[in-house]
A and B are shown apart, each in its own frame.
Chain A
Amino acid sequence: MSTSNYDPRILKAPHPVPGAPDNWKRFFSFNTDAKVIGIQYIVSALFFLLVGGLLAMVIRGELITPPADLVDPTVYNGLNTMHGTVMLFLFLFPILNGFNNLLIPTMIGAPDMAFPKLNAAAFWLVPVFATILMASFFVPGGPASSGWWSYPPMSLQNPLGRFINGEMLWITAVALSGISSIFGAINFVTTIIRMRAPGMGFFRMPIYVWTAWAAQTIQLLALPVLTGGAIMLLFDLSFGTTFYRPEGGGDPVLYQHFFWFYSHPAVYVLVLPIFGIFSEIFPVYSRKPLFGYKVVALASFAITALSLIVWVHHMFYSGTPQWMRNLFMVTTMLIAVPTGIKVFAWIGTLWRGKLRLSTPMLFCLGGLFNFIFAGITGIMLATVPIDVHVGNTYFVVAHFHYVIFNTICFGVFAGIYHWFPKFTGRMYYEGLGKIHFVLTFIGATLNFLPLHWAGLLGMPRRVASYDPEFAIWNVIASIGAFILGVASIPFILNMISSWARGPKAPPNPWKAIGLEWLLPSPPPAENFEDDIPTVINGPYGYGLNKPLVEDEEYYIKRAQEA
């Protein structure tokens, strides 16, 4: 493809333009353009999704039969720990920061992030701690293997007694990931508060921006607690302190509080932007305004506030006194209310719409379907007497995979397909996308639905072997997992071939409303440059015949000519 059909503004852009010279090299440099950084995050995160997925295949391979016969149990524990760690810290957090980088500036009409250098530094920490984490596979004794919670005193046992060990590298990597996330959060929050287009009051912001803001606020408030807790863990492990060591008078349960004070809200850091993606995509493909926009926006911050006061529901059976269990049961259940508001609002949005079931819409519908289910099992887990039975069993594994995979990853895929044309300038192949969806939905359901029953029957999580009565559920789950492995093939094919030679994308292929759709595809380096539109209406005016910005026709024409 020749470069002549591109606007010179686009060719100047440091982010990729199909066919432009030195296209791919930009990704391997310390680039401060949010759109390059966004794609850097997303592509590296998808790579680690494959790594984490490979680990999952080994785990499910081991669990397809009751005895521990595929790998040594120590290896199983290491792979299991690394699976969780890779998926959270190398796939999910980075990919969502990728979305933030692509979407926040373009959706609010900002030229870039508030602090572009900090932004690039935040990204480049990812390969640093990724390397540390991957290196831990090769140190004597193997990687960390005390589970992604890394509860002391087991995480402090260090059987070989070496200074450099898997656990130590793990803590270092997690701490660096925390620093990277804080850099990111400072940037996103500042950008949202300070750099909105003229006329874009808070109640004209797209919900994605609201949710990103609510999520990044959590990072700023809670992440320092985990980082502090992790540093104390490192000191106990490597420098002889006894914060958590009972033999020195320390308290192992203290760590659990630090860990969950952040790690519970962290799940909302992950899911809030997905609520944002749902709120963007349902209106576009139903051709209707988002139902109850203001309430949906505010519910995001209600979730932020509540998410900070529920963490003890992960410790109902840790010796937590009765009054505290009761208190945290109530706060946990309250979080279902703002969450429910959002769910009902999406359904209200679909109602009497003009639905178009293209790939992003399918992934959102599937994700919503699964999320309703996950919310219900969440309430069950919040019920203390039930949690005392199913806590730490496969029921919990099933619950959070229904959220993390069947909802969050579905939302991630929906987002990738929906904004693919915008940021690559190419259309993806709808047929492959639909195959991807169908395989993913079947695989995910087979994988994670049966695990609820294994848990109810009393199968503990994190086991390398189990009693034969649990076999049936595990066989089905493993088959589902392998189908998920297969589902990645059409996805990878689609992404690579569409980006390389897909049809050229127009500025607004979905007839969507939003500032990002008034930009050329892909957008120029500084988005609207010095010609930023003035927002005069709310973000979801489908069917309302109200223009989003002043002189809308002018911006549409400008984008098409580019």
Chain B
Amino acid sequence: MTALVLIDHEGGLLKQPSRSAVAAATKLGEVHVLVAGSGVQAAADAAARLPGVSKVILADAPAYANALAEPLAALIVALAPGYSHLMAATTANGKNVMPRVAAVLDSQPISDIAEVIDADTFVRPIYAGNAMATVKSSDAKKVITVRAASFDPVPNEGGSASIEAAPAVDMPAGSRWVSAELSKSERPELTAARVVVSGGRGMQNGDNFKLLDPIADKLGAAVGASRAAVDAGFVPNDYQVGQTGKIVAPELYIAIGISGAIQHLAGMKDSKVIVAINKDEEAPIFQVADYGLVADLFVALPELAAELERG
């Protein structure tokens, strides 16, 4: 039994959610990984050092440059005969590509698994994480995306896998990548950060999000947001935490001016420690918070920054 894991990477570095997907795959048997892109030898070298990985398949071609679903899915389908499980992290890329692979293989995908029971049986959250379903697949090949927050990532170093070139595949036409407008930030990525500080509608505008900066700086935190804050244009879409945004499970999650809707909780309730700052003592966020502070955030945030500074 061998699993193939599609790796997300950028600038020669592997994304942490993919290391969590590798961790899930190691529970199934032998693990190979696929690194696809253009000029991605460095990422393949990095993948070869992941503990538990025995082979890296390197697909280095211009067609894979921007991770379009159509060519990537065609490649994975071509590699599929050698594998029992085809896997990726539940990232925008994994969600875009893997169901496409599954349909061609006549397999029902198993999305966003949080636990591996055995080779056919997995636990996955449904209804915004308000229920956990144990599901058993009867398909010959399992196509799986992995909830990164549920598996500790394998370390970056420790392995020494071989690297092998992928076979050439007929490229489907029909889609073309034009451009990307990515948020630039010096901060850690939301899904990989040890601490996340999130703001909601209570922040009132985008400028006020700057109040979070000294706190995030001090704690080495990523900054997130509720959907309301994203919809209102305070911050870009990639800040959204929740059922339909990013799922995070940091050591510390600080929710500021966020009411705690089911859809928001779905994205952060597995955090180790949750802090809520809200002026409404009835806000549902306090039902999941380990430490709640009923306060006006415009008073509390400068105080918090000062208190952390005091060290």
Say whether A and B bind each other.
Answer: no
